[in-house]
């Protein structure tokens, strides 16, 4: 071969070897880079911190999730859209609410949805219906374990089913199994409740969002000690059902989901003067003076704060007493409503010791802490010379302004005001130590009839260990009275109202800064005003009746006496008595003159169950209480701690070979809450990254979740997700490195061979 041709051939071989080496190295480098990017996306989120959760593997989910197949094999996408419609019918003092939820499955997979939703803590949930196409399935009340078994059996067989369970009196879960590809299932829940009246105003509150609950850590207790250094240690979990009450929460950067529509039909039974909503823009249509139709002005309202409707009677139109009744199976159920007259006596001047407790934990971040501080500063300004006070604050630590309550002076008030002004919201919600400090009373057993001891507790109640706190109130209340102030757009009303009842005080809700002055003024008037004590309800000696709540609570000025009764033998006349500063007060109500009303029996049943449940914290036999609660719940078809609503379709819908995927439907963060204060600071992801169907939702697990999960993130605009098959990403990473190293070694050997061949041919 001519020398020139030999040199040209050698150059071609070298160029090809260069190209081959570059391609091998580049291929290995790209595979390595993709693996590193995927691993970084999957593990970038620190434990207990929110992560953009758009694509995830089944193993990434710690508490389950409705994951639909994505175009990337082995990865799943958050899918179903939820819509909620609320229809409320109010007749006099009773409201009947129908909540309709739409579960939609746009994927090609069979799925199960689990949705946590709030209801009023005194709601009597009694009806469940499922609509699939033209088919309707009615729910049945069963004991909780039996209902769970029925649901799980139907789910495994491929039958469509739904299960409504009570996690707390104001928190329920709705599980819907076997939603088919592209299918929409409509679930309808109905419940009954009574209207609240206070200081001339009627209140209806519909909770729209479950605020994230703080779960205290497991406690270690020394239960025995033998004196020789040996003891028995016992672990106590204050919230054993933590996973059931800690749903995922959407990051605000993604926007809101769970759109809601609402309609209220009000038939007050008397002329109504004003109708307003504290937190939503409403449209009010008034066909008559007694009736109104209320709806949202915004048709795309988001379920991120509670709805509150307030109405007032026209002057002189409200009766001072009313009774409604319902007869079922030969038994009469009645609800009585009496407004006590205003006392003529000027309240006697009592020395007061007031302990203010303010929650400055992370869930109080944003608007809530501002409302709480403003409320507390206003309350301090109303204290009288001669009173004593202290301020206690808590997050995951607890301290107080003073070591012990101090006299009200300009100096002590100024010191407390400066302390309050510098508070910031952060940390966990360890409420128990603060409650213990506030209720601690060195004069617990002494005669202090001339002194009122009052505890004012300002919090959103975002905790999961309610039972532990109720036990402490019952154990340590003594002569104290506990007044709870619910702060923010979605307080835990179950805890707040029951704590106030056990503490023989009252519950006040402040949902916005505009309500601080009016509602704190009303509360402070109650703290000063005389109470109705020793309330009792009686009938003729021959009449068998059962009155709930039992006992009736103490009442403050502006609060009505409301009771429900079950009468086994026809009509009866009820006599209500109480002690006032003016002496004994009494009033009578006769069921023979009562108006007929639907739903009174269920209101009575719910009141009985609530009163029985309170006895769990007062030392009564749990077995006896459970037996009574179960009997009432089954007789009146109600969802309780011990019963659930279950609906199962007879037909098998899901093919045996089709897999079922599960998902917890995410909730919005309550309006006014600061996401970073609750979950820790995060760099927000651009909204554009979540514009595609595969990249739509950002979730976060609670700080206190027992097993925080990591998740893979995908965004077509800024991130790469490795298509996942049967090979683990770590193997892909190793393969990429080997490919890159092998390519370089093979290229070096090839260059050596080319050089040797060139020398031989040259010789």
* Helix/strand/coil percent split, the chain, to 5: 30, 35, 35
Question: How many CA atoms lie within 13 Å of 221's alpha carbon, on the beta-carbon side?
Answer: 10
* pLDDT averaged over every residue in the chain: 75
pLDDT at 188 exceeding the cut of 80: yes
Burial class (CB in 10 A: 0-12, 13-18, 19+), 442: exposed
What band does 720 get if pLDDT is binned at 50, 70 and 90? very low
Beta-sheet pairing, 583-590 with 76-78: unpaired
Q: What is the pTM of this model?
A: 0.66
Q: How far is CA 445 from the centre of its chain?
A: 38
The CA distance from 523 to 486, in Å, is 12
CA distance to 237, 469, 649, 704, 726, per residue, from 234 (Å): 10, 20, 45, 21, 44
408 within 8 A of 383, measured Cβ to Cβ = yes
Does domain 352-528 bear CATH number 3.40.50.410? Answer: yes
Q: What is the pLDDT of residues 624-662, one digit of tens each?
A: 999 999 999 999 999 999 999 999 999 998 888 888 866
The CA distance from 666 to 680, in Å, is 18
Question: How many CA atoms lie within 13 Å of 11's alpha carbon, on the beta-carbon side?
Answer: 6
Q: Name the least confident of 82-86, 156-160, 250-254, 361-365.
A: 250-254
What band does 16 get if pLDDT is binned at 50, 70 and 90? low
Q: What is the mean pLDDT of residues 407-428?
A: 93
pLDDT at 144 exceeding the cut of 90: yes
Q: Which two structure tokens, joined as six digits, stand for 472?
A: 């402490």
Position 53 scores a pLDDT of 33
| CA angle, residues 735, 741, 744, in degrees to nearest 5 | 140
pLDDT at 726 exceeding the cut of 70: no
Question: Which of residues 122 and 267 earns the better pLDDT score?
Answer: 267
Question: Which of residues 168 and 33 earns the better pLDDT score?
Answer: 168
Q: What is the mean pLDDT of residues 660-673?
A: 54
The CA distance from 593 to 583, in Å, is 28
Q: Looking only at Cα atoms, what is the longest distance across the chain? A: 131
Q: Name the least confident of 235-249, 298-312, 363-377.
A: 235-249
Residue 153 makes CB contacts below 8 A (sequence gap 6+) with: none
Q: Which CATH class is domain 319-341+532-636?
A: mainly beta
Q: What is the DSSP string of 725-739?
A: -SS-HHHHHHHHHHH
Q: Name the least confident of 236-245, 268-277, 355-364, 605-614.
A: 236-245
CA distance to 117, 399, 643, per residue, from 214 (Å): 17, 19, 26
pLDDT at 335 exceeding the cut of 50: yes
pLDDT at 10 exceeding the cut of 80: no
Task: Tell me the percentage of the chain whose pLDDT exceeds 90.
Answer: 29
Q: What is the pLDDT of residues 512-560, one digit of tens each?
A: 767 878 888 888 888 877 678 888 998 876 666 899 988 888 888 788 8
Position 67 scores a pLDDT of 42
Burial class (CB in 10 A: 0-12, 13-18, 19+), 548: buried
Q: What is the pLDDT of residues 166-184, one digit of tens each?
A: 887 777 888 888 988 888 8
The CA distance from 611 to 237, in Å, is 25
Question: Which of residues 521 and 405 earns the better pLDDT score?
Answer: 405
Position 344 scores a pLDDT of 60
The CA distance from 285 to 296, in Å, is 12
Q: Name the least confident of 178-182, 507-511, 729-733.
A: 729-733
Q: What is the mean pLDDT of residues 9-23?
A: 62
Position 728 scores a pLDDT of 45
């Amino acid at each position: 071969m001519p020398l020139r041709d030999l040199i040209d051939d050698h150059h071609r071989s070298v160029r090809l070897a260069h190209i081959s080496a570059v391609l091998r190295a580049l291929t290995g480098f790209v595979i390595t880079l993709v693996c590193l990017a995927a691993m970084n996306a999957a593990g970038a989120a620190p434990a207990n911190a929110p992560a953009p959760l758009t694509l995830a593997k089944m193993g990434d989910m710690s508490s389950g999730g409705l994951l639909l197949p994505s175009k990337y094999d082995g990865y799943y996408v958050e899918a179903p859209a939820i819509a909620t419609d609320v229809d409320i019918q109010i007749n006099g003092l009773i409201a009947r609410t129908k909540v309709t939820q739409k579960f939609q499955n746009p994927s090609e997979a069979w799925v199960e949805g689990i949705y946590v939703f709030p209801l009023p803590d005194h709601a009597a949930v009694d009806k469940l219906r499922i609509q699939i196409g033209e088919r309707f399935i009615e729910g049945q009340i069963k004991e909780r374990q039996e209902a769970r078994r029925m649901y799980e059996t139907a789910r495994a067989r491929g039958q469509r089913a739904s299960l409504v369970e009570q996690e707390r009196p104001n928190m329920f879960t709705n599980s819907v199994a076997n939603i088919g590809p592209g299918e929409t299932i409509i679930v309808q829940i109905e419940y009954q409740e009574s209207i609240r009246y206070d200081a001339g105003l009627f209140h209806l509150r519909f909770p729209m969002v479950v605020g994230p609950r703080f779960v205290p850590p497991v406690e270690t207790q020394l239960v025995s000690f033998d004196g020789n250094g040996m003891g028995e240690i016992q672990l106590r979990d204050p919230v054993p059902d933590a996973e059931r009450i800690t749903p995922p929460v959407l990051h605000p950067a993604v926007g809101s989901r769970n759109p809601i529509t609402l309609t209220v039909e009000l038939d007050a039974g008397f002329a109504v003067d004003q109708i307003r909503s504290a937190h939503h823009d409403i449209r009010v249509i008034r066909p008559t003076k007694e009736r109104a139709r209320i709806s949202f002005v915004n048709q795309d309202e988001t379920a991120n704060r509670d709805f509150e409707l307030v109405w007032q009677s026209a002057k002189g139109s409200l009766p001072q007493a009313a009774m409604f009744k319902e007869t079922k199976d030969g038994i009469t159920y009645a609800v009585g409503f009496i407004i006590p007259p205003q006392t003529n006596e000027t309240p006697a001047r009592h020395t007061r010791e007031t302990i203010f407790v303010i929650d400055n934990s992370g869930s109080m971040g944003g608007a809530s802490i501002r409302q709480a501080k403003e409320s507390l500063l206003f309350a301090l300004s109303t204290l009288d010379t001669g009173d004593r006070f202290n301020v206690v604050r808590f997050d995951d630590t607890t301290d107080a302004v003073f070591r012990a309550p101090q006299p009200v002076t300009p100096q002590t008030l100024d010191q407390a005001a400066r302390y309050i002004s510098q508070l910031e919201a952060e940390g966990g919600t360890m409420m128990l130590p603060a409650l213990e400090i506030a209720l601690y009373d060195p004069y617990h057993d002494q005669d202090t009839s001339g002194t009122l001891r009052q505890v004012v507790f300002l919090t959103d109640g975002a905790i999961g260990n309610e039972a532990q706190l109720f036990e402490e109130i019952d154990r340590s209340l003594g002569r104290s009275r506990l007044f709870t102030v619910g702060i923010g757009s979605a307080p835990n009303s179950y805890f707040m109202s029951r704590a106030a009842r056990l503490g023989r005080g009252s519950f006040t809700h402040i949902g916005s800064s505009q309500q601080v002055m009016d509602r704190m003024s009303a509360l402070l008037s109650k703290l000063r005003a005389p109470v109705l004590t020793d309330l009792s309800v009686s009938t003729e000696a021959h009449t068998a009746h059962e009155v709930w709540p039992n006992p009736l609570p103490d009442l403050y000025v502006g609060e009505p006496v409301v009771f429900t009764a079950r009468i086994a033998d026809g009509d009866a006349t009820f006599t209500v008595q109480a002690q006032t500063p003016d002496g004994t007060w009494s009033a009578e109500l006769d069921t023979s003159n009562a108006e007929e009303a639907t739903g009174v029996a269920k209101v009575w049943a719910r009141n009985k169950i609530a009163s029985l449940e309170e006895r769990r914290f007062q030392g009564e036999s749990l077995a006896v209480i459970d037996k009574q609660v179960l009997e009432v719940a089954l007789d009146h078809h109600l969802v309780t701690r011990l019963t659930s609503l279950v609906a199962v379709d007879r037909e098998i819908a899901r093919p045996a070979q089709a897999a079922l995927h599960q998902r917890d439907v995410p909730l919005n963060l309550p309006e006014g809450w600061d996401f970073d204060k609750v979950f820790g600071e995060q760099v927000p992801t651009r909204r554009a990254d979540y514009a595609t169907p595969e990249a739509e939702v950002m979730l976060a697990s609670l700080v206190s979740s027992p097993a925080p999960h990591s998740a893979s993130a995908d965004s077509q605009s800024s991130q790469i997700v490795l298509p996942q098959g049967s090979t683990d990403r770590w193997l892909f990473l190793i393969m990429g490195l080997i490919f890159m190293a092998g390519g370089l070694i093979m290229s070096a050997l090839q260059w050596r061979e080319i050089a040797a061949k060139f020398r031989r041919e040259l010789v």
